[in-house]
């Protein structure tokens, strides 16, 4: 199955003449040669621009590839405009399934005719993405305007084929590249698989949406629509219909006199608030999932949808990440190196001075530019790459966060090219860190844990006795195991001696005869 899927990918690559996107480097020579030899593949969209051909190819390959295109499309600061514009269509303009089929899926999931719950169901989708599409309707019981999200049928089969190929490639990397196990490629593919599978369960998305909504109730920064959880199933989700301007429609935002600087800064605030205050962040913030509420143009608010993919950090990762960001903002490279070691991201035996110098060599050239031109996500990626030279294990949870920051920075720079992440993020992080780890907070946590200590302290002598008893039992068991090992070694030596004597006897018999 993996071979046939790989062949399909190469065929699509050849059909849409995407070889011109390959770098002019000897490492891509073998792929160019292979594509050249596939002379029987007929060209498609020959008269289209390269961006449109790339968009059509990714769309033909399916949801895994569409997701990659969505992520790339957010980086207009590093992509040619014609390619970014073409890939942006992947966010909500993928070819839809027939509206009648979508209606049948909804009726089957809810076990009622469509008009039992909804009035004015529109069979024509208002948006169509790689995994699902959205139809508008009116809820009969309240006359509220809603949207119904429907999964594409048989989508799991396509995803599994691509994931199988990615597992195969990950295993090849692990085997064939020096220190390939450090890449943890198989684990990264596993996490990506889990991420995609979450998108195939709309009930989980409904839960995530409700939780994010609770976190931002009455917020000026971000609005999350209400979900009708009693009407949600694994392949159908019903939520409030929002009205806003797509974040990618820059011209319309400007025509409505939206404060673009404030909007860009609020995107950064929304990201850091989710990561550090709530430790529950929307990890799929491509432009197709973000709208802007312009009820008050000088006080714009984001509207977030499609909350299937979320990220959560451990308490340690959250703290070390904040320390790492702050050290970076302050150009404290020794602190960055110490944080990487203390967090366990690199081995404890790492030479802190060598790591500090490597971090400095990456960051200092960037600081020669104006702050508005420094790509924060790009430097974070480079820091991870440097750390891998010091045997850093790739952290999947940080990879997801890095991707989200990649989205946010791309959107922010698209809205307001002079966006200064330092000015927005640094004060937030400094306040969060002070509040989280101040002496007052630590004393408060200690005070709150007193009831637990009051229960545990009377049990302490008994627990210590149990520990001593268990330790003695373990020592006895270890002695027994050691004695058994000694007896086993003795039996093994006796066996070897017997074999040697037997062989010697056989040789003597042969000589005599």
205 within a domain of the structure (yes/no): yes
144 found inside a domain: yes
- Out of 6-20, 182-196, 406-420, 461-475, least confident range: 461-475
Query: Do 385 and 295 fall into the same domain?
Result: no
Selection from 50, 64, 48 nearest residue 8 by Cα: 64
Question: Is 410 found in the same domain as 480?
Answer: no
- Stretch 230-258: mean pLDDT: 93
Pick the catalytic residue: 162, 284, 293, 306?
Answer: 284
DSSP reduced 3-state for 280: coil
Pairwise CA distance, residues 61 & 279, whole Å = 34
Q: Tell me, yes or no, whether 400 and 434 share the same domain.
A: yes
Does any domain span residue 117?
A: yes
Could you tell me whether strands 132-139 and 290-293 are parallel, antiparallel, or unpaired per DSSP bridges?
Answer: unpaired
Residue 454 in domain: no
| 453 located within any domain | no
Count of structural domains within the chain: 5
The answer on 237 and 124 residing in a single domain is yes
> Can you give the CATH number for the domain in which 112 is found?
1.10.510.10
36/324: higher pLDDT: 324
For the question of residue 284 being annotated catalytic, the response is yes
Concatenate the DSSP letters of all residues of 125-189 into one string. Answer: -SEE-SSEEEEEEEETTT--EEEEEEEPTTHHHHHHHHHHHHHHHHHHHHHHSTTGGGG-HHHHH
Other Cβ atoms less than 10 A from the Cβ of 273: the count is 19
- pLDDT one-digit tens code per residue, 72-116: 665 565 567 778 778 777 766 677 889 899 999 999 999 999 999
350 plus 402 within the same structural domain: yes
For residue 217, pLDDT beyond 50: yes
Q: What is the 3-state secondary structure (H, E, C) of 14-80?
A: HHCCHHHHCCCCHHHHHHHHHHHHCCCCCCCCCCCCHHHHHHHHHHHHCHHHHHHHHHHHCCCCCCC
Do residues 327 and 465 share a domain?
no
- For residues 298 and 313, the answer to whether their CB atoms sit within 8 Å is no
- Among residues 433, 182, 408, 441, which one has the least CA distance to residue 321? 433
Looking at the fold, whether 223 and 191 belong to one and the same domain comes out as no
Last-in-domain residue among 447, 482, 502 = 447
pLDDT in tens, 151-195: 988 888 777 877 887 787 778 767 766 555 655 667 767 777 777
Q: Residue 452 domain-assigned?
A: no
Residues 429 and 343 in one domain: yes
d(CA 383, CA 360): 10
pTM higher than 0.75 for the full model?
no
Residues 111 and 231 in one domain: yes
Least confident of 195-204, 297-306, 359-368, 503-512: 503-512
What is the mean predicted confidence (pLDDT) over 289-305?
93
pLDDT beyond 70 at 428: yes
- Backbone φ and ψ of 374, nearest 5°: -85, 125
Q: Please say whether the beta carbons of 150 and 105 come within 8 A.
A: yes
Q: Considering Cα of 248, then 249, then 251, then 257, what sign does the dihedral take?
A: negative
Residues 411 and 344 in one domain: yes
**Could you give the count of Cα atoms lying within 13 Å of 247 in the half-sphere of its Cβ?**
32
Range of the domain at 134: 99-153+201-310
Max avg pLDDT among 32-41, 127-136, 174-183, 459-468: 127-136
Same-domain check for residues 132 and 168 = no
Whether residues 367 and 417 fall in one domain: yes
């Amino acid at each position: 199955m993996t071979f046939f899927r790989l062949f399909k990918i190469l065929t699509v690559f050849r059909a849409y003449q995407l070889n011109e996107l390959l770098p002019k480097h000897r490492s891509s020579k073998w792929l160019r040669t292979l594509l050249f030899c596939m002379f029987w593949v007929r060209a498609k969209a020959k008269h289209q621009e390269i961006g449109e051909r790339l968009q059509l190819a990714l769309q033909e390959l399916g949801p895994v590839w569409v997701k990659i295109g969505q992520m790339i499309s957010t980086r207009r600061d590093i992509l040619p405009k014609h390619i970014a514009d073409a890939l942006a269509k992947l966010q909500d303009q993928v070819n839809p399934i027939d509206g009648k089929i979508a209606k049948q899926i909804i009726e089957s999931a809810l076990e009622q005719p469509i008009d039992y719950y909804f009035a004015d169901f529109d069979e024509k989708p208002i948006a169509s993405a790689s995994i699902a599409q959205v139809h508008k309707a009116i809820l009969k019981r309240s006359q509220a305007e809603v949207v119904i999200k429907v999964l594409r049928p048989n989508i799991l089969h396509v995803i599994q084929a691509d994931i199988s190929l990615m597992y195969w490639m990950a295993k090849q990397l692990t085997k064939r590249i020096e220190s390939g196990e450090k890449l943890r490629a198989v684990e990264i593919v596993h996490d990506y698989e889990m991420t995609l599978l979450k998108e195939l369960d709309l009930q989980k998305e409904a839960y995530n949406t409700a939780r994010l909504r609770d976190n931002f109730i009455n917020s000026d920064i971000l609005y999350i629509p209400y979900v009708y959880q009693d009407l949600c199933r694994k392949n159908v989700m019903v939520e409030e219909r929002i009205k806003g301007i797509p974040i990618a429609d820059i011209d319309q935002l400007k025509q409505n006199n939206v404060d673009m600087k404030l909007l860009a800064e609020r995107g950064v605030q929304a990201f850091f608030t989710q990561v550090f205050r709530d430790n529950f962040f929307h990890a799929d913030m491509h432009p197709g999932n973000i709208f802007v509420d312009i009820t008050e143009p000088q006080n714009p608010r984001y509207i977030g949808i499609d909350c299937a993919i979320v990220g959560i950090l451990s308490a340690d990762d959250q703290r070390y990440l904040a320390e790492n960001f702050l050290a970076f903002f302050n150009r404290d490279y020794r602190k960055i190196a110490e944080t990487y070691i203390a967090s366990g991201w690199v081995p404890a035996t790492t030479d802190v001075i060598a790591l500090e110098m490597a971090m400095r060599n990456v960051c200092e050239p960037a600081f020669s530019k104006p702050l508005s031109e420094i790509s924060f996500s790009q430097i974070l990626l480079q820091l991870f790459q440097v750390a891998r030279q010091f045997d850093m294990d790739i952290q999947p949870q940080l990879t997801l966060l890095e991707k989200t920051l990649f989205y946010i920075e791309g959107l922010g720079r698209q809205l307001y090219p002079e966006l200064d992440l330092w000015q927005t993020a640094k004060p937030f992080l400094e306040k969060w860190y002070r509040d989280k780890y101040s002496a007052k907070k630590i004393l408060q946590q200690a005070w709150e844990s007193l009831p637990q200590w009051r229960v545990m302290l009377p049990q302490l002598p008994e627990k210590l006795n149990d520990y001593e008893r268990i330790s003695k039992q373990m020592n006895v068991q270890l002695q027994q195991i050691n004695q058994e090992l000694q007896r086993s070694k003795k039996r093994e030596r006796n066996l070897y001696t017997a074999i040697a004597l037997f062989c010697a006897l056989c040789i003597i018999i042969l000589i005599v005869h």
